[in-house]
Chains A and B, each alone.
Chain A
């Protein structure tokens, strides 16, 4: 099973700042099959990024994904108030596993 480790656990930033979230896999993710989700309290997760770097329908371009192999990054270029949430990565190259999440909180 591929284990995904997300860091940091919590990111404290102000609106307008840049957020950089990391997702590291225990082994190479086949075909860069890596997705990112956003989850707000009491809501279902929302797909942001798939295939490591492709934005899902309706996702603002301030969200971008990058990386390959074992190291992946989600970048939010300028944080909006509605972006404060928990973010999860998920690999789907070898079965299905999720990372433990990164909470982006208001500083």
Chain B
């Protein structure tokens, strides 16, 4: 059974940093591209960042480019998102999502999602 479990969310002040993690199990982690997708309170879904199965290629939405860094550790089946210079508009539930088996760069749909972790940016 595919499982994705996010952790690391919490309350942080504007300008602060936070590191999210996603523990994956039930599939060959290194064979799949992975993404982070966020959802602000009461709002829709927004893709944030993606990484290839090998970790060699990364992609970012313009809204987070230069502030967020996606990475993965295939030996530990873990996906990470380092978030720096956080802003109030980054407040959201952050979901870890698995790209489909043919996922290439950002040409992906998402067949499995974690339950999400809440990040609140506020003073």
Contact = CB atoms under 8 A, between A and B. Distances in A.
Interface in B87-123: 95, 100, 106-116
A97 interface: yes
Interface in B36-59: 44-47, 50
A52 to B, nearest CB: 11
10 contacts: A33-B109, A37-B110, A44-B114, A44-B115, A45-B113, A47-B110, A47-B112, A90-B110, A92-B106, A101-B45
Most buried by A among B95, B100, B110: B110
A50 B111 CA distance: 9
B113 A46 contact: yes
Contact of B106 (A46, A56, A88, A96): A96
A88 B45 contact: yes
Given A35-B110, A47-B112, A99-B44, 9 more contacts: A45-B113, A47-B111, A56-B111, A88-B44, A92-B109, A96-B35, A96-B50, A96-B106, A100-B44
Nearest to B113: A44
Given A33-B107, A50-B100, A96-B106, A90 B113 contact: no
Interface in A67-103: 88, 90, 92-93, 95-101
B100 A101 contact: no
Nearest to A31: B107
A26 to B, nearest CB: 16
A45 B45 contact: yes
Contact of B47 (A50, A57, A93, A96): A96
Contacts of B114: 44
B7 to A, nearest CB: 15
Nearest to B96: A44
Most buried by A among B45, B47, B50: B45
A90 B109 contact: yes
Nearest to A100: B44
Contacts of A96: 35, 47, 50, 106, 108
Nearest to B112: A47
Given A50-B109, A93-B107, A98 B45 contact: yes
